[in-house]
A and B are shown apart, each in its own frame.
Chain A
Amino acid sequence: MSSAAAAKLPPRSYEVIYILRPDISKEAAERVAQRVTDVVSREGGVLTLVENWGRRPLAYDIAHKRRGLYVYINYLGDGALVTELERNFRMIDEVIRFQTVKLEDAPESGEIDPELLKFEVEEFNPEEEVERTLEQELGLVNSPAPRPSKEEFDAETTEESASDDVEAAPASEEKTAESVEETPADKEAE
């Protein structure tokens, strides 16, 4: 097969989820995102969507981490781009897991909103990420940071308005009124 024949094929649509170490700095996460952008454009692909899903608990430990920073991207490209991008993911130490999935839908030819390509990360807060020592792991000492349970995993994806109501209930009337105002806004945002 000649390269000319391959070039005639229409680009395919792929989606990738990659997971970064949870303790990654804002700058390092942006560097990884920039490198992904560079690789896609260098290989003749088009990035169509970049989403930061934030730090989520992992269902099992990866690289001794219980959480990971999830990033979701969509792009148009060919098989060579997929290979090249995955080769790059393997070389970046901050990426602890990645998965490419080919989308069934035909690629859209419409214009891409540059807003969708913005990548924003919140600064790492070390207080969230208290790793347990060996003694705590074995149950010899009371653990300050229990492993996130299934309930917590689910709770992260649900609305925050429920917890607002719980906090507002014993508070004064003013605060209750505020939370009522906030709740519909939260739902609209979702």
Chain B
Amino acid sequence: MENEEPRGDKDGMRRTRTRGCPFCANDAPAISYKDPGLLRYFITERGKIVPRRVSGICAKHQRALTLAIKRARVIAFLPYTTNY
């Protein structure tokens, strides 16, 4: 943990970590609603879509991912909610 990333100032600044969008990488997998195994990484335990500020995905790919997750829900690859 110590040498993982630079710490902020002593007065409690948040740790920052620069990390690229995983879907912008050259060997990135294609975002498809037919791949629930991949989409599962980007939903919470309750089935909500993980926000961009948490997952670090760029805006373009977050839009594609959101569409894919919503399509996957329609054909019951992913749950709308786990609370039923």
Contacts and interface: CB of A to CB of B under 8 A. Distances in A.
B75 A99 contact: yes
Interface stretch (B19-27, B51-59, B76-84): B76-84
Interface residues of A, number: 15
A28 interface: no
A97 to B, nearest CB: 6
What is the interface residue range for chain B against chain A?
Answer: 10 to 19
A19 B80 contact: no
A59 B37 CA distance: 12
B75 A19 contact: yes
A99 B74 contact: yes
A23 to B, nearest CB: 16
Interface in B9-64: 33-34, 36-37, 40
A59 B76 contact: yes
Contact of A60 (B34, B37, B40, B84): B84
Given A99-B71, A101-B71, A62 B76 contact: yes
Contacts of A157: 37
A39 interface: no
B31 to A, nearest CB: 12
Contacts of A97: 74-76
B74 A59 contact: no
A77 interface: no
A45 interface: no
Given A154-B37, A157-B37, A17 B80 contact: no
Nearest to B84: A60
A70 B76 CA distance: 10
A153 B39 CA distance: 14
B48 to A, nearest CB: 14
Nearest to A150: B40
Contacts of A101: 33, 71
The 10 nearest A-B residue pairs measured at CB: A58-B76, A59-B79, A59-B76, A99-B74, A17-B75, A99-B75, A60-B79, A59-B78, A60-B76, A62-B76
Interface of B: 33-34, 36-37, 40, 71, 73-80, 84
20 contacts: A17-B34, A17-B75, A19-B75, A58-B76, A59-B36, A59-B78, A59-B79, A60-B80, A60-B84, A68-B76, A70-B75, A72-B34, A97-B75, A97-B76, A99-B71, A99-B74, A101-B71, A153-B36, A154-B37, A154-B40
